[in-house]
Amino acid sequence: MATASEEHHELPLPVELPLDEYTSTADVSLKTQMIRFGVTGGLSAIVDFGSLLAFLGLGLPFWLAKSISFILGTTTAYMINRRWTFKAPHSNARFMAVIALYGVTFALQVGISTALYHYFPEDALWRVPVAFVIAQGTATVINFIVQRAVIFKIS
């Protein structure tokens, strides 16, 4: 019969965000980064889309609701990606580069989603989620490429 400590080791370990120690981005494989980026993106998309629906429910105009929800979602993404996906310590230069990247993807995402929202038929129940997914997908691809190739190589 196994002791309590032996049984404890058989349980799966929880996913933990490294909060104290970092390894360089080069130490994390592309596959691992892509999986973590996807998980982080999924969580951030839930924050973004959930707050978009909440702000629309409060009667905010689409462009304003999407602007606020984008900020909430991308803040969530940056904090998790820096610590978990790319395992990078804080850097003011990196943070400024992320702000520049998010400025570009903000304009793209809000612009694409707002244009599609107004393009699709007003009575279409699917117009908000489809506009969101297309804009989010575009921003996600750009974000991953730029973050991996440029931003998280900055020290």
Average pLDDT rounded to a whole number, residues 17-43 = 72
| pLDDT on residue 56 | 96
Looking at the chain, the whole-number percentage of residues with pLDDT higher than 90 is 46
pLDDT of residue 8 exceeding 70, the answer is: no
Helix-helix angle 30-57:127-149, to 10 degrees:
140
**Ramachandran angles phi, psi of 79, nearest 5°:** -60, -40
Average pLDDT rounded to a whole number, residues 36-40 = 92
pLDDT of residue 113 exceeding 90, the answer is: yes
Q: Cα dist. 116→6, 57, 62, 120 in Å?
A: 56, 19, 11, 6
Report the number of secondary-structure helices (H) and strands (E) in the chain: 5, 0
Of the pLDDT bands very low, low, confident and very high (cuts 50, 70, 90), residue 26 is low
Helix-helix angle 92-119:62-80, to 10 degrees:
150
Looking at the chain, the whole-number percentage of residues with pLDDT higher than 70 is 82
Listed by start position, the domains of the chain span 31-84+91-152
pLDDT of residue 118 exceeding 90, the answer is: yes
pLDDT of residue 153 exceeding 90, the answer is: no
